[in-house]
Amino acid sequence: MVFNTIPYYLFFLFPAAIAFRLASPNLRPWICSVFGCAFFVFFSSDRRGAFCLAIFIWEALFSRLYRKGSGLCWIGVLQSVVLLTIFKYRNFLTGLYFGPSDHNPWHWYGAFLPLGISFFTFEFIHYAVDRYLGRAEAGTPAEYMCFILFFPTMVAGPIKRYQDFLPKLRNPVLDSRTNWRLGCTRILSGLVKKFAIADLMTAFTDHLNRADIAVARRWVLPVWLLAYGVKIYFDFSGYSDIAIGSARLFGILVPENFNWPYFRTSIVTFWRCWHISLSAWLTDYVFIPLGGSRVSAGRVYLNLFVTMLVSGIWHGAGLNFLVWGGWHGALLVLHRMWTQWRGPARADRPFYRSALCCAGTFLWVNTGWAFFCMDLSTASVFFHRLFWGQT
């Protein structure tokens, strides 16, 4: 990940933040855009990064056509989905029909994934939809380019909203001493999470493969899975901390992304505190358009399930990610059924009940990580060994 490299800080973050502070307000969006373009090309896996940069340029130009109630906004949404499908899901989708790549005439052997495409696609879609609904102003081309190409959040989120980002870009908090102190502290905390905890857990999570699972003692398996749950939290929240701290150096506040999710007492509150910007995006642009909770109970359950399937496939192109999304969709549906039957949890319930709910939520969430970190055949071996002691 780019946040772990010296060039990120030496060539991009510190020079861009200093230039941003010294520049006039009219030049600040251009400074962020230029550094964002350079960042995208520099950290892309190969020279095709310059080609992929055309996606940003085209989207910025096309966004100038968006108007409230205009059908061009939906064309913008469609083209964003199509581009994401081509780059991220083409081989997965064609493989479902044709099978392995050797028998798949549509397999893209030179496939590559543009840097941060999952994150900036959601920001493309958000801007088009909110322009259609009249919830976001057009802004200038430079401001929109800065919104999309703001490199601290380009590859790991949090997922920004244009109407929230624009006022902060126009009126950044330029208290240098405070911002640099808070920003650097947040960056250091993220690096500690990454190097001192997440990378340490890698020694355990490397064993979540078919060969090691088949010969491991049964009691070791949940330990490995627990280690993965710890790793993914500290890894992802660490990157979010670095992104938030980096933005703070510009005097720009971006949304928080994690709020102690493993200490929540239900799957609903877990998702309100895990990858918060993604959960909010899925609620506003998938769950509510499907009807949200304003429809019949059966439709609400379906809406929850579909929303989490979208969350699953967004994370990766594989059936295991769909199953992981379906797992969480099923947990949300069961939680809603339970609360409708028993009523919402009481605020004054005994501590031991809250502790049990917290432990139960943690157990179900960590069980689901098996589908996230393994393909389905390996996950099947894992659960057979775990529950029946055989593969």
Give me the long-range contacts of 382-385 (CB less than 8 A, separation at least 24). Answer: 382/208, 382/213, 382/221, 382/225, 385/213, 385/214, 385/216, 385/218, 385/221
How many whole angstroms separate alpha carbon 253 and alpha carbon 321? 31
- Catalytic residue, from 315, 328, 335, 384: name it: 315
Burial of 115 (0-12, 13-18, 19+ CB in 10 A): buried
As given in the structure block, the two tokens for residue 191 are 């690096």
Give the other-Cβ count within 10 Å of 342's Cβ. 8
User: Does residue 315 carry a catalytic annotation?
Assistant: yes
Q: How far is CA 110 from the centre of its chain?
A: 25
Amino acid letter, 105 = P
SS3 205: helix
As given in the structure block, the two tokens for residue 47 are 């020279």
How many whole angstroms separate alpha carbon 314 and alpha carbon 191? 25
End-to-end CA distance of the chain: 35
C-alpha dist (Å) from residue 153 to 68, 125, 233, 278: 27, 16, 18, 13
How many whole angstroms separate alpha carbon 304 and alpha carbon 301? 5
361 CB-near residues (< 8 Å, 6+ apart): 264, 265, 266, 267, 269, 270
Burial of 110 (0-12, 13-18, 19+ CB in 10 A): exposed
Place of tokens 């996950």: 379
Query: How many helices (DSSP H) and strands (DSSP E) are in the chain?
Result: 19, 0
141 CB-near residues (< 8 Å, 6+ apart): 60, 61, 64
Which residues are the active-site residues? Answer: 315
